[in-house]
Amino acid sequence: MFRRKSHPHSEQEGEEQPHKVKVLRTSLGAPLSGRDLQYCNDACLRRYLEARNWNVEKSKKMLEETLKWRSTFKPEEIRWHEVAIEGETGKAYRANFHDRHGRTVLILRPGMQNTTALDNQMRHLVYLIENAILNLPQDQEQMSWLIDFTGWSLTNNVPIKSARETVNILQNHYPERLAVAFLYNPPRIFEAFWKIVKYFLDPKTMQKVKFVYPKNKDSVELMKSYFDMDNLPTELGGKANLKYDHEEFSRQMAQDDVKAAKFWSFDKHHTETNGYSAPEVAPKTECLAPPVKV
């Protein structure tokens, strides 16, 4: 009378995925070379397919647009000294801890905005995304974002154009790189801003955005499931009394720039790491020196 439910589609999709990776690679046409070849390894192609629900044609279009963007924006060539001024207030930086899944964590504090040049702001953001990917553990391809709204107001808020470009870069050129983004304690006036920004988000990205309010127990518990509270700064509801140290962070980024240069070198022999294709001697993941304790 009762039949056990089967999932033929799930099994079929699992079998088809490696095939679709090959089809996507073939559909790109002429053999890739240089950094395009290094970028487009199988893990990369899977992320683009996943972002477009395994539709090869849509994935191809998305990937081609990224390759075009990377050829002009040249994210792998950005060096810290070029964007360091953007980080002086600690408005965005890679944290010195991982989440419970071992993912790299970026902390963004829009209330600490200190510049007005959108182009350089985006270069700074892209630099940090690339740096986060570079420092992912071998078994991870995604990062977590923590957005701290301390000090945020209508007078220093991020312009809509900037927010839209941030979403565009993250969604369209780094698909499936974001695991989760926690928006911590946004003020009431943020709601009007959010109503506009959320229209730029695709459904998959939208599901990854979580609002956390200190007085909302469920949202706090959700955040705890992703992060060890002993690691989180007090501004984000954690127990770590830390302060961003720009000089120390700059020293670490200078070291990472050396790793990045090796990472994107055109050695003949490559192996895969962090969802990219990298030199056989892959850069070791190094934790940041902890910010200065207050």
Residue 189's SS3 state is coil
Q: Residue 147's closest CA among 111, 177, 103, 179?
A: 111
Task: State residue 156's pLDDT score.
Answer: 65
From 282, 207, 276, 226, select the one nearest 47 (Cα to Cα).
Answer: 276
Q: Please give the pLDDT value at position 283.
A: 39
- Is 260 exposed, middle or buried (CB count within 10 Å of its CB: 0-12, 13-18, 19+)? buried
How far apart, in whole angstroms, are the C-alpha atoms of residue 65 and residue 20?
A: 19
CB atoms within 10 A of CB 199: 10
Q: Is 158 strand, coil or helix?
A: coil
Q: What is the pLDDT of residue 6?
A: 45
pLDDT at res. 275:
57
Q: How far apart are CA 125 and CA 164, in angstroms?
A: 13
d(CA 146, CA 102): 15
Residue type present at position 139? D
DSSP 91: S
Amino acid at 118: L
Cα angle value 219/147/237 (rounded, 5°): 50
pLDDT at site 14: 67
This prediction's pTM: 0.86
pLDDT block averages, 10 residues each, the chain of length 294: 44 75 93 91 96 96 98 96 97 96 95 92 97 93 95 74 92 97 92 88 95 96 96 93 94 96 65 48 41 44
Residue type for 142, please?
Answer: Q
DSSP 46-73: HHHHHHTTT-HHHHHHHHHHHHHHHHHH
Q: Residue 182 — φ and ψ, nearest 5°?
A: -95, 125
Q: How far apart are CA 43 and CA 28, in angstroms?
A: 16
pLDDT at 289: 41
Tokens of 254: 């200078």
